Amino acid sequence: MAGLFIDVQVDASVAKDPALTKKLVEVCPVNIFAANDDGSVRIVEANLDECTLCDLCVRAAPPGTVRILKLYE
Amino acid sequence: MRFYEYESKALFRRHGMPLPKSGLAREAADARRIASEIGGPVVLKSQVLSGGRMKAGAVRFAETPDQAAAHYEAIVPIVVNGQRCRAVLVEEKKGIAQEYFAAITWDGRRKCPVLVFSDMGGIDVEEVAEKHPEHVSKTHFSSLFPITPRIAKEAIGATGVTGDALNRLTPIVFELMRVFLAYDLTLAEINPLARLEDGRFVVLDGHIDMEAEARGKHKPLLAELAIAPEETRQAREATPFEIRGAEINAQDHRGVAGNVVGFDGDLGLVIGAGGGSLTLFDAVRKHGGRPANYCEIGGNPSVNKAKELTKLILSKPGVRKIAVMMNVVSNTRVDIVARGVIKGCIEAGKKPSEVIAIFRIPGAWEGEGFKILRKYGVDYCDRSVSMYEAAGKAVAKMRA
Ligand code: SF4
């Protein structure tokens, strides 16, 4: 089941960057990002609703490239 | 968590307390063998986590090994206060000259342990205290400063025990104090502590209750006593509903969402904040509500944990609605709990607006939580509504 309350969008430029992927995996406290074998980023849908809205991922990537969407607003 | 008598005695044995010869029988042949090894009259005692064994016929005396085997068969099917027999303790029968009582528990008002000692046995100790107060002493001691045998001696002496008996009793009672403190117990009791006809003392029965929160700290001891982690050791056996609650809590280290106890009512409770959960439970009852369970939530559980717990409570037969209520909290995210509870309702195939009677969690991120609750049409309130009023609203919804 995808997030009922939260969705996370990552621009393709960031998603394909292994260095940024590593950063995103590291900063998220609830494991919403995971790395694919090729170093690109994958969203772990089962964890989406655990998002704490901490914005660490947003700050770890270039401005506007990672977006946290509150689906209840 | 309670210990069975044989476990309490195993702990006492570790501390050198005098005990009768005994063995644990799990089948009639064991009872026969143990009785023959003891080589004299024995007493067979059902191992249940409850009093009232004698009245129920679950304690019997045997003169021969064959009689012990026959008594074993008779004892095992007996259910004592809802408790089935786990095994039968076969113990040497002693000739008793006098019975004493020694127990240590926690005095919540004085905030320290209290040693209760009586030289008139422990049956109806409250009655003894009323009719013969001079035969019951109550002695408080510190759980922080070192303790000495003198405390035990004075407690025993206060009931009029002197001389040889006083000298022999003191190390036993002092050891009981040490056991109480060493294992974070809420009760350490020897009842009866018997003086034999030859003047020796022996621990005939014992009760131990350990603080549930201390289980982690005493893992080696519990492993040694073969107490499995899933054994809740409450006054009655845990139901599958309660076991599942504990599993949900254990699956994720974040926060608390468990400690579920089932009742017969129709209102599921997801409640929290220490004393607040007790207050809320009582408030529901006071308004005439019928709780289906007592379940604690708090300390920032994950969405998944709150979700699974909600599903569990909704799956309990007879539950029509749930009330999610806490005292004012600073460390639990309101929005996270709201997400979990709503998700749980949806996954259980229910409409959150219909099945959540009230949501009252004032605290961190409550603005965000209220947005979620509004979107799903859930009736919620903030701290301007007291816990008592919120419980009343939930009960009123059940009647509507
Ligand atoms: S906001 Fe925080 S919790 Fe949410 S995805 Fe980003 S890093 Fe993870």
Model pLDDT for residues B27-61, shown as the tens digit of each residue:
999 999 999 999 999 999 999 988 889 889 999 99
**Please, which residues bridge with residue B271 across strands?**
B296, B325
| Residues 6 or more apart in contact with residue B319 via CB below 8 angstroms | B266, B267, B268, B292, B293, B313
Asked if residue A25 has pLDDT above 70, the reply is: yes
Q: Mutate which of A25, A42, A56, A66 to test ligand 1's pocket (most atoms within 8 Å of Cβ)?
A: A56
Determine how β-strand A66-70 pairs with β-strand B88-92.
unpaired
| Residues 6 or more apart in contact with residue B140 via CB below 8 angstroms | B107, B110, B112, B113, B114, B115
CA–centroid distance, B82 to ligand 1, in Å, is 49
Residue B231: the pLDDT is: 80
Chain A nearest CA to B336, separation (Å):
7
CA atoms of B33 and B66, how far apart (whole Å): 9
Contact B343, A49 (CB under 8 A): yes
Chain A nearest CA to B333, separation (Å):
9
Asked if residue B360 has pLDDT above 80, the reply is: yes
Contact B60, B43 (CB under 8 A): yes
Task: Give the one of A50, A70, A72 whose C-beta lies nearest to B302's C-beta.
Answer: A50
Residue B59: the pLDDT is: 96
Asked if residue B62 has pLDDT above 70, the reply is: yes
Indicate yes or no: CB of A73 within 8 angstroms of CB of B342: no
Asked if residue A1 has pLDDT above 70, the reply is: no
Residue B261: other Cβ atoms inside 10 A = 18
CA atoms of B33 and B395, how far apart (whole Å): 59
What is the per-residue DSSP string for B171-236? HHHHHHHHHHHHTTEEEEEEEEEEEETTS-EEE--EEEEE-GGGTTTTHHHHHHTT--TT----SS
CA atoms of B25 and B122, how far apart (whole Å): 27
Distances B157 to B117, B215, B240 between C-alpha atoms, Å: 10, 35, 49
Nearest to B155 by CA among B142, B136, B168, B171: B136
Contact B350, B332 (CB under 8 A): no
CA atoms of B356 and B270, how far apart (whole Å): 10
Task: State the pLDDT confidence band at A18, using cuts at 50, 70 and 90.
Answer: very high
Write out the E strands in B47-95.
59-62, 88-92
* Chain B residues whose beta carbon lies within 8 Å of the beta carbon of residue A52: 333, 336
Indicate yes or no: CB of B372 within 8 angstroms of CB of A4: no
Residue B124: the pLDDT is: 72
Residue B303: the pLDDT is: 96
Determine how β-strand B329-333 pairs with β-strand B363-364.
parallel
> Is some CB atom of chain A closer than 8 A to the CB atom of B339?
yes
A6-20, B32-46, B90-104, B112-126: the lowest-pLDDT one: B112-126
Long-range CB contacts for residues B219-225, cutoff 8 Å, separation at least 24: B221/B11, B221/B183, B224/B10, B225/B3, B225/B7, B225/B10, B225/B11
The stretch B82-93 carries a mean pLDDT of 93
**Per-chain mean pLDDT for chain B:** 93
Residue B235: the pLDDT is: 63
Distances B47 to B59, B63, B193 between C-alpha atoms, Å: 10, 20, 19
Asked if residue B175 has pLDDT above 70, the reply is: yes
Residue B122: the pLDDT is: 64
Residue B18, φ and ψ in degrees, nearest 5? -75, 125
> Is some CB atom of chain A closer than 8 A to the CB atom of B378?
no
Give the pair of three-digit tokens for residue B388: 């008592």
Residue B239: the pLDDT is: 86
Radius of gyration of chain B (CA): 25
Identify from A47, A49, A51, A70 which residue to disrupt to test chain B contact, counting B C-beta atoms within 10 A and taking the largest count.
Answer: A49
Chain A nearest CA to B381, separation (Å):
18
Q: Running DSSP on this structure, what letter comes out for residue B22?
A: E
Q: What is the pTM assigned to this prediction? A: 0.68
Mapped onto helix, strand or coil, the DSSP state of residue B81 is coil
Asked if residue B70 has pLDDT above 70, the reply is: yes
B312-324 pLDDT, tens digit per residue, is: 999 999 999 999 9
CA atoms of B131 and B125, how far apart (whole Å): 10
Nearest to B361 by CA among B255, B246, B252, B245: B255
Residue B212: the pLDDT is: 85
Nearest to B310 by CA among B359, B269, B371, B253: B269
Task: State the pLDDT confidence band at B236, using cuts at 50, 70 and 90.
Answer: low
Q: Running DSSP on this structure, what letter comes out for residue B134?
A: G
Residue B258: the pLDDT is: 77
Contact B38, B27 (CB under 8 A): no
The stretch B153-158 carries a mean pLDDT of 97
| Residues 6 or more apart in contact with residue B314 via CB below 8 angstroms | B268, B322, B344, B345, B348, B350, B355
- Residue B69 C-alpha from the chain's centroid: 32
A19-28, B124-133, B189-198: the lowest-pLDDT one: B124-133
HEC sequence for A24-61: HHHHCCCCCEEECCCCCEEECHHHHHHCCCCCHHHHHC
The stretch A50-61 carries a mean pLDDT of 97
The stretch B314-335 carries a mean pLDDT of 94
| B365 class by beta-carbon count within 10 Å (0-12 exposed, 13-18 middle, 19+ buried) | middle
Please work out, in degrees rounded to the nearest 5, the angle formed at the alpha carbon of residue B116 by the alpha carbons of B114 and B119: 160
